[in-house]
Amino acid sequence: MRTELTVNGTVHVLEADPRTSLLDALRHHLGLTGSKKGCDHGQCGACTVIVDGRRINSCLTLACMHDGEAITTIEGLGTPVAMAPLQAAFVDRDAYQCGYCTPGQICSATAMLDEVAAGWPSHVTDDLEAAPDLSDAEISERMSGNLCRCSAYPNIVAAIRDAAEGTR
């Protein structure tokens, strides 16, 4: 079926089986292979993209359900010569080993910092009504939907902290 997606600012018209996940549409139909397929069941977060400002698991949604919506993938956040602050922070902090989860980590962290800025609490926030601070415990909890099998978590938390504090 026909689906129109605006990906990283460019309009694409897709003709695909309704079973096509948003992740497969991005990777196989549009050639944007930055978003990764890990578990394909919403458990690992490697496929995380930002849809209309929200981070979601692109493997667990149908492309056709996003007709007319705006999607940002890792390719839309920055380039090797013009990295986004989070991308630069991940490089600087060596916040990966194999790198497979990294695009999902960075897309997730990008939207997560917006959620903090909007005042959303998390499971570890003491006061539901206060503006959340960005402690290491908060970063870990808010990023728990992104697994890193190399366990680069300490450096991932440090990189996100750097980017959030604008030190990058």
Partner 1 sequence: MRPFDYHRATSSAEAARAVAAPGATVIAGGTNLLDLMKLEVMAPERLIDITRLDLGGIEETGDGGLRIGTLVRNADLAADARVRRDYPVLSRALLAGASGQLRNKATTGGNLMQRTRCYYFYDTAMPCNKREPGSGCGAIGGVTRLHAILGASEHCIATHPSDMAVALLALDATVELEGPEGEGRSVPLADFHRLPGDTPHIETVLQPGEIITAVTLPPPVRGRQVYRKVRDRASYAFALVSVAAVVRMEDGRIAHAALAFGGLAHKPWRDPAVEDLLVGEAPSEALFDRAADRLLADARGQGGNDFKIPLARRTLKAVLADATREAAA
Segment contacting partner 1 by CB under 8 A, of 74-82, 91-99, 115-123, 148-156 = 115-123
- Closer Cβ to partner 1, 9 or 126, answer by number: 126
Cα–Cα nearest to 136, from 154, 120, 118, 123:
154
DSSP 55: E
Binding of partner 1 at residue 119 (CB under 8 A)?
Answer: yes
Say which residue the tokens 């206060």 belong to: 130
- Closer Cβ to partner 1, 52 or 165, answer by number: 52
Say which residue the tokens 């394909």 belong to: 40
Pairing of strands 70-72, 54-57: unpaired
**Is 100 within 8 Å of 108 (Cβ atoms)?**
no
Cα–Cα nearest to 115, from 102, 100, 125:
125
Binding of partner 1 at residue 143 (CB under 8 A)?
Answer: yes
* In the complex, minimum distance from the CB of residue 50 to partner 1, in angstroms, rounded to a whole number: 10
Binding of partner 1 at residue 4 (CB under 8 A)?
Answer: no
Binding of partner 1 at residue 57 (CB under 8 A)?
Answer: yes
Segment contacting partner 1 by CB under 8 A, of 8-16, 76-84, 91-99, 112-120 = 112-120
Cα–Cα nearest to 131, from 148, 119, 141:
119
Binding of partner 1 at residue 122 (CB under 8 A)?
Answer: yes
Residue 95 tokens, joined: 């916040």
- 39: CB partners within 8 A, 6+ apart: 46, 59
Q: Which of 135, 144, 151, 167 binds partner 1 (CB under 8 A)?
A: 144
Binding of partner 1 at residue 28 (CB under 8 A)?
Answer: no
Per CB under 8 A, residues contacting partner 1 are 1, 17-19, 21, 40-42, 45, 48, 54-57, 60-62, 64-65, 108, 111-112, 115, 118-123, 125, 128-129, 140-146
